[in-house]
Amino acid sequence: MKKIEIAVCDTDQAYGEKFVTWISLENQDKFGGCCFSEEKPFLEYLKAQRPDIVLLGKGFLGNAKVLEWIQQEGFREQEGILWMYLYDLAEREQIPEGAKGIPVLDKYQPVSQMVREILSYYQAYGKKEELASFQRELIGIYSPGHSIWQTPFALTLAQVLGQREHVLYVNFKECAGFTEWFQEEYQRDLLDVMYLCLTGNGNVSDCIGSAVYRMENFSYIPPAGDSVCLGEILKQDYLKFVQLLVGQSGYGLVILDFGMMVPGFFTLLEECSKVYILTEPGELHAAPLQHFRQMAGRQAQPGLLKRIDYLTLPELQPAAYQRGQWLQQWMWGGLGDYARSLMGVQNGAN
């Protein structure tokens, strides 16, 4: 995987060094970085290198020679640099007229949140035509017996497929448990994204970007916090939202992890290019699975029935996992081996 190269420019040299050190240590497989506190070395660097992202902080955005680089005719049409403004909310610096339209990033928020915002802009920037040339896919995952391993399997599958696809994971379960599993406090969640997308407040990519988080190899929208609302959303709204995700999100693959049968459940499955129906070994799980088969036979179209794969998960035992490290332990345990085998991926590589 090609690393994303980031140049951090700020006259506060300590700030730039700390930022680059953090992304290099925490995301060394995804990012490479360098920092500049003076104009001349930065401009010389631009002549020799083509970074993917440049973060312009104090003393750089208003610099005439830097603005000249940004405004060069045709420059934005090349493979290109994503320019972002490291904005100091406390100082309320004025954005120069020649730099209007550049994405703004609060420079003193947690670095983990900054990385999420940077990735969101980077995924959207200059990618629309490129992504449009790929066939976008939608995978649905459901367990009639509500296996506790359904979501770990779905997340592990997203990580595996994320090695070769641009993946967005969406969880429709009532009690997903992400806050405890992954030690995250979410400011926005699925319901916020659905509202923004369905009311047309901004393009779909920006609506997702306002809430999206990253895990290894894929992005995800935090599950609904007030999930009782999931049963009150209209069938047509679910369908429109899913169609927007597939058509306009910029992701090549969207994975839907279902909990209850939300309104329009089988209509949503009809949208999927593949549906995985999960069960666990043992006679106790056979009855819910049989019930689902009968229901699907009555309600689903023949085309959907051909796209359903019935999977029996391997014997999995709960373990004393380290808090915040659940995905890594699923990925490199029996669940990960099963997902890689299913997708034809060995040892984390294609």
> What's 259's domain CATH number?
3.40.50.300
Q: How far is Cα 311 from Cα 314, in angstroms, rounded to an integer?
A: 9
For residue 334, being part of any structural domain is answered with yes
Q: Which two tokens stand for residue 348?
A: 């984390």
State whether 148 and 286 are in the same domain.
yes
State whether 178 and 121 are in the same domain.
no
| 177 — pLDDT class (breaks 50, 70, 90) | confident
Contacts with 349 (C-beta within 8 Å, 6 or more apart), sequence order? 163
State whether 47 and 68 are in the same domain.
yes
- Among the candidates 68, 92, 126, a domain finishes at 126
For residue 318, being part of any structural domain is answered with yes
| 349 — pLDDT class (breaks 50, 70, 90) | very low
Is this prediction's pTM over 0.85?
no
Residue 30's CATH number: 3.40.50.10850
- Torsion angle in degrees (nearest 10) through CA of 118, 207, 189, 159: -50
Classify residue 282 as left (phi > 0), alpha (psi -120 to 50) or beta: left
Q: What is the pLDDT of residues 5-20, one digit of tens each?
A: 899 999 999 999 998 8
| 335 — pLDDT class (breaks 50, 70, 90) | confident
Contacts 24+ apart (CB under 8 A), 279-288: 279/143, 279/144, 279/145, 279/147, 279/310, 279/311, 279/312, 279/313, 280/145, 280/147, 280/149, 280/312, 280/313, 280/316, 281/312, 281/313, 281/314, 281/315, 284/145, 285/145, 285/147, 288/144, 288/145, 288/146
Average pLDDT over residues 17-42: 82
State whether 290 and 240 are in the same domain.
yes
Q: What percent of the chain has pLDDT over 90?
A: 33
State whether 203 and 318 are in the same domain.
yes
State whether 84 and 141 are in the same domain.
no
| 241 — pLDDT class (breaks 50, 70, 90) | very high
Q: How far is Cα 175 from Cα 119, in angstroms, rounded to an integer?
A: 27
For residue 331, being part of any structural domain is answered with yes
Cα Rg, the chain, nearest whole Å: 22
Contacts with 39 (C-beta within 8 Å, 6 or more apart), sequence order? 59, 60, 63, 65, 66
State whether 198 and 290 are in the same domain.
yes
State whether 76 and 154 are in the same domain.
no
| Number of compact structural domains in the chain | 2
- Asked if pLDDT for residue 117 goes beyond 80, the answer is no
What pLDDT score does 130 carry?
Answer: 36
Q: Is 54 helix (H, G, I), strand (E, B) or coil?
A: strand
- Asked if pLDDT for residue 164 goes beyond 80, the answer is no
State whether 113 and 178 are in the same domain.
no
What pLDDT score does 224 carry?
Answer: 93
| CA proximity to 10, closest of 57, 46, 48 | 57
Q: Which two tokens stand for residue 201?
A: 């407040």
- Among the candidates 94, 126, 158, a domain finishes at 126
Least confident range from 15-19, 86-90, 195-199, 242-246: namely: 86-90
Strands 82-87 and 137-142, by their bridges, are unpaired
Residue 62 neighbours by CB distance under 10 Å: 15
- Among the candidates 126, 146, 171, a domain finishes at 126
Neighbour-count burial of 49, counting CB atoms closer than 10 A to its CB (0-12 exposed, 13-18 middle, 19+ buried): exposed
- Whose tokens are 């609506």? That residue is 207
Q: Are 14 and 43 in contact (CB under 8 A)?
A: no
What pLDDT score does 265 carry?
Answer: 94
State whether 72 and 219 are in the same domain.
no
Q: Which domain holds residue 43?
A: 4-126
Which residues are 6's β-sheet partners? 33, 53
- Asked if pLDDT for residue 199 goes beyond 80, the answer is yes
Q: What is the pLDDT of residues 137-156, one digit of tens each?
A: 899 999 999 998 999 999 99
State whether 30 and 148 are in the same domain.
no
Average pLDDT over residues 259-265: 92
State whether 119 and 249 are in the same domain.
no
